[in-house]
Amino acid sequence: MNSPTTHPKKIVIATRESRLALWQAEHVRDRLKALYPDCVVELLGMTTRGDQILDRPLAKVGGKGLFVKELETALLNGSADIAVHSMKDVPMNMEPEFSLVCISDRENPLDAFVSNKFSTIEDLPPGGVVGTSSLRRESQLRARFPYLAVASLRGNLDTRLRKLDSGEYDAIILAAAGLTRLGLGSRIRAVMSSELSLPAAGQGALGIEALASRPEVAEWMAPLNDAMSSACVRAERAVSRALAGSCEVPLGAFGEIRDGQLRLRGFVALPDGTRMASATLTGAPEDAEKLGNELAEELRRQGADEILAALPGLPG
């Protein structure tokens, strides 16, 4: 990869102030300092509406875009140069002022089963209470384990683990990536296969956002981009964008590159798991977004639009 033609003197990173978000921003900061030793790299910590609203499911209050708006404001007013996000929190439809300039190498993209009592989700007895904040996870749990009780779980990672430890849940489902990044991998009792719990679009990947009007920032970030992770995530996001826009719906999309080919799987379902459309396609990594759109069309042929139309009214 070619080196940037100009080196930055200072970069300010906008980040949420949760422990995981700060880890992610610090990770990017350290990589930038290694790339540009003479550059001053600072963090601008911010609290978002998504962090403040903890008493209602995200799907009811505007979706995961609530985690990025304040950070984007910092980009617009010039107080930050870039924002670091978990890719699964980035709305599928971005405003034209902003650009996703980098998707870095991906941590484990799968879901993790966390419990103090049971080794796997199959071990839970009828009526066992499983906590999750995700309609995607809920729909798959209800479809595969209809005898379990699925309960809403909000809060940052530490809060969710504390609720589990206090006995509110028999088990909780979290992204393996977050636990691993914070040194909490020992809490994972089992990593759930993608056949059991298909991940969210972008899960486990970090994205860097900047103003579209600042191409020099995109150039500075280019060395951090991981081509394979980027192809997979962009394909996954294309599926979600085509079917659901930025609405929070029970939808999963997961790409893997095997033998030089991008294998993309996706599903959309009712929250109770009673209806589900799923499909798999394979194509060239360089055609990632085209493949995502084709998978969305295949899901439509299997009834995805009817499933989405049957969902309770959710904000877009």
Contact in structure between 240 and 94 (CB atoms under 8 Å)? no
Q: Is 199 left (phi over 0), alpha (psi -120 to 50) or beta?
A: beta
Query: CA-based diameter of the chain, in Å?
Result: 61
Strand partners, 41: 11
Listed in sequence order, the residues at least 6 apart from 21 whose beta carbon sits closer than 8 Å to its beta carbon are 15, 84, 86
Could you write out the three-class secondary structure of 247-302? Answer: CCCCEEEEEEEECCEEEEEEEEECCCCCCEEEEEEEECHHHHHHHHHHHHHHHHHC
Contact in structure between 283 and 291 (CB atoms under 8 Å)? yes
Nearest to 157 by CA among 193, 184, 135: 184
Asked if 89 is an active-site residue, the reply is: yes
Strand order in the sheet with 10-16: 40-46, 10-16, 82-86, 206-211, 98-103
Q: Which of 89, 158, 259, 272 is catalytic?
A: 89
Active site residues: 89
